[in-house]
Amino acid sequence: MDIITPQRLYHGTTDNLLPSFQTKLLNSQYWRPGRDFGEGFYTTISAGQARKWAYKAMRGSLQGAVRACVLEIELHAIPDPCHPLIFLSDSLAWAEFIMLHRLVERKGTDPCDRHPDIIIGPMADSDTGKIIKEALQLNKDAHWFYEQITRTMRGRRLDSLLLGNQVVFSSESWESSLKLVGYNIYMGGRWIYHDCSSEAQSL
């Protein structure tokens, strides 16, 4: 199976974690369970979406005064072998996959017989964590969950293109396929871009 990849991907984080990412992008010891597509390194093809993730990470940080940061990453090769999972749009199968992985609480536990190396698909738009808790309390199934995560807070059904996109790397074998080419830090009400190649040349 051939995968034609996007040339640039974005990851939202905080600037205090930048040195770690400059050393290694994929470090599975930091990947958390209970996320949409399981443990992994979450990226998106949308710089705007990554900024939202960065703002959220900044607000939730326990490290004090940190700044929102968006990594700009180039995906330049596909490892062989590759075991992808691609959801072209929202679907019941997509919702079931998210629900199963959102229910995982212990690191290293996975509901898949073989977890994909890379997963590409829409994001769940609503407060998924809250919806998962409600599903457990009310004993709801994946059909109910699907309806909840594809609607706005006002109950309006969202088009797949409005849900947002995520590209998740679930294996460190992709490390050599990725390159940090730059990063943006939110400073003084605006985003300041830093080119990694320029920084390397100045050392």
Pure H helices in the chain? 18-23, 47-60, 92-102, 128-138, 142-149, 196-202
What is the rounded CA–CA span in Å between residue 136 and residue 107?
20
44 in Cβ contact with 166 (< 8 Å): yes
* Residue-range domain boundaries for the chain: 8-202
Amino acid at 38: G
| pTM across the whole model | 0.90
CATH no. for 8-202: 3.90.228
Q: Summarize pLDDT for 119-148 with one digit per residue, the tens.
A: 999 987 657 888 888 888 889 999 999 988
Q: Summarize pLDDT for 89-125 with one digit per residue, the tens.
A: 999 999 999 999 999 999 999 999 999 999 999 987 6
Phi-psi region of 46 (alpha: psi -120 to 50; beta: other; left: phi over 0): beta
DSSP state of 44: B
